[in-house]
C-alpha cells in the first residue's frame, strides 16, 4: 500500500537549486513524486511554483521524505495550524518536538504565518499567544536548557515553514550564494578586497561586525592589524577564548606571545613563564579593564576593545591556565553570551580558531555573512558546513590575511585613510 502527501514549493526555486535538491531527496530516500503543477517565473523578479504528490511504501519513509523536503522550504498543501504541546517541566520538551534549522522560519498560528524570532539551529520553537508587542502571538527559539515548564512547544511540521536563503539576483560577489568552495589557489587579494568593502559597507550602515579570533592571530603577528581595525571602529564585538586574550595581553606586558618575540621569533629567557605572569598581573589589577585604566596594559587588541567599548566575550575551556578574571568559565553562561553577540551580527570574521568558530556558527542564522580563514583546509570546510548561505572560505596564513584586510579596509577610495568621524562612523581622509 502506497502512502502519499501533496507539498508545495515556491520562490526562486530553480536557480537556487531547490527543486533539484527536493527531487533528489525523494529518490534518495526510496520514494517517488508526481509533479502536478509547475509554474516557472519568466523574468528576474518572478517566482516559480511547484505542487507535487510524494509517495512512499511506508508511513515512516514518507515522513522521512517530508522532513527533508521541509528543510528545503516545502510545505504541505493546505497546512493546519502548528501543533503546540505544553512543556511538562523546566528543560523538558515533548518527545516529538520540532528542532529548528538555522534558516528563516514561520509558524502558522490562528490562521496566520508568524516569523520566528532569534532563529538558530537545534532549538525548540516556542509560541506565546499574547507575547507580541501588540498583545498578539509571538514565536521564538529557546535552547533546551532554557525551556520552562508551561512553554508552548511546537511539535507538528505541518504548521511550520522554512525559508532557505535564495540566490541573490545580483550574484553576491565574494559572498555568492552557497558558494562554499574552499581553495588555497583562489585569487586571495581580490577576495580580501571584497571582504574589506563589505566591512566598510556594514560599518557605514551602522551594522554589526563580529570577530571570532584564535591565539594564532597573536602568534602570527597579526594582532597589531586587528587592533587597528578595532581602533578605527570596524569591530563591534569580539568573541574569543582565554588563550587569545592572555597572549594579546602578554604581548603588551612582555613583548612576547606564548614566550616568543613575534618580531624576532626569539625566545627570551623565562619567556615560557610570561603567559602565566600575565594572568597573575591582570588578576592583581582586578581585570582587563582595570589593567587598561591603570596603565598596565597600553596596547593590543584587548586594550583597543576596552578603549573603544567593544562588546567582548571570553569563553573558557577545561585547559585554560588561570584563567583571566574576565573569562566566563560556566559553559552555559558563555553560550548565552556568545548567542547574544551572534544574533546581533551582520557579518562574522572567523579567524584561525576551529572550536570557537563552530560554537559561534551554531548560533548564527543562515542569512548572516560569514568569513572563515585558516591555514588548514579541513578547518575552513567544517566552518562553512555550519550552514551559512553567504560564506567566504579562505585557506591562508592568518598572519597575512589580517594585515592585508586591515590595509584594504583602512585605505580611502582615493588613497586616503578611513578614520572615524564625530559620530564614530568611518570616512575617508586624504593623506
Instruction: Report how far residue 114's alpha carbon sits from residue 134's, in angstroms, rounded to the nearest whole number.
Output: 13
Query: pLDDT tens across 388-425, in order?
Result: 767 888 889 999 999 999 999 998 544 444 544 444 54
CATH 3.30.300.20 fits 79-164, yes or no: no
The answer to whether the CB of 59 falls within 8 A of the CB of 33 is no
Would you identify the CATH topology of the domain 1-77? Alpha-Beta Plaits (3.30.70)
Consecutive H or E run containing 409: helix 398-410
DSSP secondary structure, 199-259, as one string: HHHHHHTT--EEEEE-THHHHTT-HHHHHHHHHTT--SEEEEEHHHHHHHHHHHHHSEETT
Task: Give pLDDT, residue 288.
Answer: 98
Angle at which helices 242-254 and 274-285 cross, to 10°? 90
Would strands 112-117 and 105-109 be described as parallel, antiparallel, or unpaired?
antiparallel
Other CB atoms closer than 10 Å to residue 144's CB: what's the count? 13
Q: What is the DSSP string of 73-97?
A: T-EESSPPPPPEEE-SBTTB--TTP
pTM score, whole prediction:
0.85
pLDDT at 309 (0 to 100) = 97
Computed from CA positions of residues 328, 298, 216, 384, in that sequence, does the dihedral angle turn out positive or negative?
Answer: positive
Q: Residue 267 has what pLDDT? A: 72
Measured at the alpha carbon of residue 228, what is the angle toward residues 224 and 232, in degrees to the nearest 5? 170
Expressed in angstroms, the distance from the first to the final Cα of the chain is: 77
For 9, 199, 402, 408, the CA distances from 232, given in Å and listed in that order, are 45, 12, 14, 13
Q: Please give the backbone phi and psi of residue 251, each rounded to the nearest 5 degrees, phi first.
A: -65, -40
Parse the chain into domains and list their residue ranges. 1-77, 79-164, 189-413
Q: What is the per-residue pLDDT across 204-236, written as a single tens digit (0 to 9) for each?
A: 999 999 999 999 999 999 999 999 999 999 999
Q: Does domain 189-413 have CATH number 3.40.50.10690?
A: yes
Name the grid cell of 230.
578595532
Per-10-residue mean pLDDT of the chain, 431 residues long, equals: 89 84 93 93 84 93 90 88 96 94 94 95 95 92 96 89 73 53 61 93 97 95 96 98 96 83 67 89 97 97 98 95 96 96 96 92 91 88 73 90 96 51 47 32
**Pick from 231, 87, 82: nearest CA to 150:** 87
Phi-psi bin for 390: left (phi > 0), alpha (psi -120 to 50), beta? beta
What is the distance between the alpha carbons of residues 242 and 215, in angstroms, rounded to a whole number?
9
Amino acid at each position: 500500500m502506497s502512502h502519499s502527501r501533496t507539498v508545495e514549493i515556491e520562490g526562486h526555486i530553480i536557480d537556487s537549486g531547490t527543486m533539484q535538491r527536493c527531487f533528489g531527496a525523494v529518490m534518495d530516500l526510496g520514494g517517488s513524486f508526481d509533479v502536478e503543477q509547475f509554474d516557472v517565473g519568466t523574468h528576474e523578479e518572478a517566482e516559480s511554483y511547484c505542487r507535487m504528490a510524494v509517495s512512499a511504501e511506508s508511513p515512516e519513509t514518507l515522513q522521512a521524505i517530508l522532513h527533508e523536503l521541509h528543510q528545503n522550504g516545502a510545505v504541505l498543501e493546505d497546512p493546519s495550524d502548528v501543533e503546540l504541546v505544553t512543556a511538562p517541566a523546566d528543560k523538558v520538551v515533548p518527545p516529538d518536538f520540532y528542532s529548528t534549522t538555522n534558516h528563516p522560519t514561520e509558524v502558522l498560528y490562528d490562521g496566520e504565518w508568524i516569523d520566528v524570532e532569534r532563529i538558530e539551529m537545534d532549538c525548540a520553537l516556542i509560541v506565546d499567544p499574547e507575547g507580541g508587542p501588540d498583545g498578539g502571538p509571538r514565536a521564538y527559539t529557546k535552547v533546551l536548557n532554557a525551556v520552562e515548564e508551561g512553554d508552548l512547544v511546537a511539535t507538528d511540521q505541518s504548521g511550520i515553514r522554512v525559508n532557505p536563503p535564495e540566490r541573490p539576483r545580483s550574484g553576491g560577489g565574494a559572498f555568492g550564494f552557497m558558494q562554499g568552495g574552499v581553495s588555497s589557489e583562489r585569487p586571495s587579494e581580490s577576495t580580501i578586497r571584497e571582504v574589506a568593502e563589505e566591512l566598510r559597507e556594514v560599518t557605514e550602515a551602522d551594522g554589526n561586525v563580529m570577530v571570532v579570533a584564535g591565539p594564532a592571530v597573536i602568534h602570527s603577528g597579526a594582532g597589531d592589524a586587528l587592533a587597528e581595525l578595532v581602533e578605527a571602529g570596524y569591530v563591534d564585538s569580539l568573541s574569543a577564548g582565554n588563550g587569545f586574550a592572555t597572549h594579546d595581553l602578554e604581548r603588551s606586558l612582555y613583548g612576547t606571545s606564548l614566550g616568543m618575540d613575534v618580531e624576532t621569533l626569539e625566545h627570551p629567557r623565562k619567556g615560557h613563564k610570561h603567559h602565566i605572569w600575565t594572568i597573575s598581573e591582570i588578576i592583581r589589577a582586578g581585570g582587563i579593564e582595570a589593567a587598561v585604566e591603570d596603565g598596565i596594559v597600553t596596547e593590543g587588541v584587548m586594550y583597543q576593545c576596552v578603549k573603544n567599548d567593544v562588546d567582548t566575550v571570553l569563553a573558557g575551556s577545561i585547559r585554560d591556565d588561570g584563567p583571566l578574571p574576565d573569562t566566563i568559565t560556566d559553559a552555559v553562561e558563555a553560550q548565552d553570551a556568545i548567542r547574544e553577540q551572534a544574533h546581533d551580527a551582520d557579518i562574522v570574521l572567523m579567524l584561525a580558531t576551529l572550536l570557537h568558530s563552530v560554537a559561534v556558527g551554531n548560533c548564527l542564522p543562515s542569512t548572516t555573512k560569514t568569513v572563515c580563514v585558516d591555514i588548514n583546509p579541513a578547518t575552513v570546510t567544517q566552518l562553512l558546513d555550519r550552514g551559512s548561505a553567504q560564506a567566504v572560505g579562505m585557506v591562508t596564513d592568518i598572519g597575512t590575511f589580517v594585515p592585508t584586510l586591515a590595509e584594504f579596509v583602512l585605505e580611502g577610495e582615493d588613497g586616503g585613510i578611513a578614520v572615524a568621524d564625530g559620530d564614530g562612523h568611518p570616512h575617508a581622509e586624504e593623506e
